[in-house]
Structure 1
Amino acid sequence: MTDAPITDPKALRALSHPFRWKLLQLLTEEGPQTATQCSAALGESVASCSYHLNMLSKYGFVAEVEGPGRQKPWRIVPKRQSISSEGLEGEAAMAAEAASMAYLDQEFERMRTRLRQYDHLPEEWRQVVGTEGTVKFVTAEEALGLVEELRTLFDKYDERRLNPELRPEGAKAVRFFLSHTVAPE
């Protein structure tokens, strides 16, 4: 599942709000949620959750689940979020940078929070929690190949993310955050 990078400055600005990344995380890991359920899970008011969900919806990141009843749950729109300032100028480039920084701030906060909860995890789950860092000397082509191999490896589990019926018993949401950067000249 590869989507073109987000280039609309307004959509990028929508992603520059840290709380919106928390909503995206919640919907990704917990499935469809109403604004009331988001409020209870994230400790934000229902009105605030509703406002931010509507903003995410406006740019196609979430959508309401169709069905009966007044309170409609929101669901994540299945697509890979790709944010890059490459080829963008001015306002769009600044919006891409702001969205990227909000995303990274959210990821690092999530890692810190979950690492602090390590002692409260069952033993079998403690084995999969941690961080790793490594440096490899590779060409640009080799680095791109490694990234593609990792994406292919993770892609084989994508259907489980969107379809809970496909998850084996005992499956939990495990967050993998990969970063690949190049040392400056």
Structure 2
Amino acid sequence: MADPSPRITDPKALRALAHPLRWQLLEIVGREGTATATQCAKETGESVANCSYHLNLLAKYHLVEKAEGGQGREKPWRVVSGISLDSVGMDTDGTLAVRAASGAFLDYELNQIRERHAVEHLEPPEWRHAVGVENVHDYLTAEEVQELRAAVRELMGRFSERRTRPELRPEGARPVTLLFSTTVAPRTD
């Protein structure tokens, strides 16, 4: 199964992603299916005008688009599609832009993990047992890593319809983030 997320190659679009608030807005809009600048402001603590500005900038690069309904700042936005960041085949400018966007993404996600981990003890026991941080080290080929990543995407895809169809969410379902990272150790030979 190929990665369904389009690969971003425009250095300007990539640089637009090198901002932690924009990753947070993408996460909020993607998690909720649609969200307004006002809803985003309530969750982020930023002003409505600032959220609106950043959502419009994301729209400029076709990362979000206006959804049906609402008016003005109360107009909902939706994520256009997932995002894939890699610098394979890119020139120096593109590679630097991918690194900046990836760095902002990792900063945002790792900070979110730290913040949630700090208050995990406040969760009910069933959630404390369900969430956590793990790592596994094994020897795989590049093809096996691609197969593993595709399997995880397929597994998570079973639940993706719940984002836009709240009636499908079982009682007690909450937004869950799975940050799945695959890295390879540098060659030593």
Superposition TM-score, scaled by structure 2 size: 0.90
Counterpart in the other structure of 1:107: 109
Q: Could you tell me which residue of structure 1 aligns to residue 98 of structure 2?
A: 96
The amino acid of 2:136's aligned partner reads: T
Within 2, Cα distance between the matches of 1:69 and 1:7?
Answer: 32
Contact conserved, 1:115 with 1:129, CA < 8 A, in 2?
Answer: no
Whole-angstrom CA distance in 1 between matches of 2:90 and 2:34: 33
Q: C-alpha root-mean-square deviation of aligned residues, in Å?
A: 1.5
Counterpart amino acid of 2:59?
A: S
Corresponding residue to 1:37 among 34, 39, 56:
39
Matches within 5 A, 1:169-180: 169-180=171-182
Question: Residue by residue, what CA displacement relative to the aligned partner does 1:129-173 show, whole Å, maximum 9, x if unpaired?
Answer: 210001011222222222222222112212122322222222111
1:72 equivalent to 2:72? Answer: no
Counterpart for residue 121 of structure 1: 123
1:18 and 1:103 in contact (8 A); partners too: yes
Task: Flag structure 1 segments of 5+ consecutive residues without an equivalent.
Answer: none
Q: Decide whether aligned partners of structure 1 residues 68 and 131 sit closer, same or farther in structure 2, where only a CA change above 3 A counts.
A: closer
Q: Where does 1:135-174 land on structure 2 (aligned, <5 Å)?
A: 135-174=137-176
For 2:14 and 2:112, locate their aligned partners in 1 and report how far apart those are by CA, in whole Å: 21
Runs of 4+ aligned structure 1 residues displaced above 6 Å come to: none
For the 8 Å contact 2:66–2:77, the answer to whether it is kept is: yes
Q: Determine which of 57, 60, 66 is the counterpart of 2:59.
A: 57
The CA deviation at 1:68 is: 4.7
**CA distance in 1 between partners of 2:143 and 2:34 (Å):** 39
Q: Structure 2: how far apart are the matches of 1:148 and 1:56?
A: 27
Distance 1:179 1:72, change over 3 A: same
Q: Secondary structure at the match of 2:116?
A: helix
Structure 2 counterpart of 1:171, one-letter code: A
Deviations 1:111-146 (A, max 9, x none): 001111102212211111210001011222222222
Give the number of aligned pairs.
184
Do the aligned partners of 1:33 and 1:73 also contact (CA within 8 Å) in 2? yes
Post-superposition shift, 1:38?
1.3
Q: Give percent identity, aligned residues only.
A: 48
Q: 2:122 & 2:38 partners in 1: Cα distance?
A: 27
How many Å apart are 1:92 and its aligned residue?
Answer: 1.4
Q: Which residue of structure 2 lines up, in the alignment, with residue 134 of structure 1? A: 136
The Cα of 1:76 is off from its aligned counterpart by 2.1
1:3 aligned counterpart, secondary structure = coil
Secondary structure of the residue aligned to 1:127 is helix
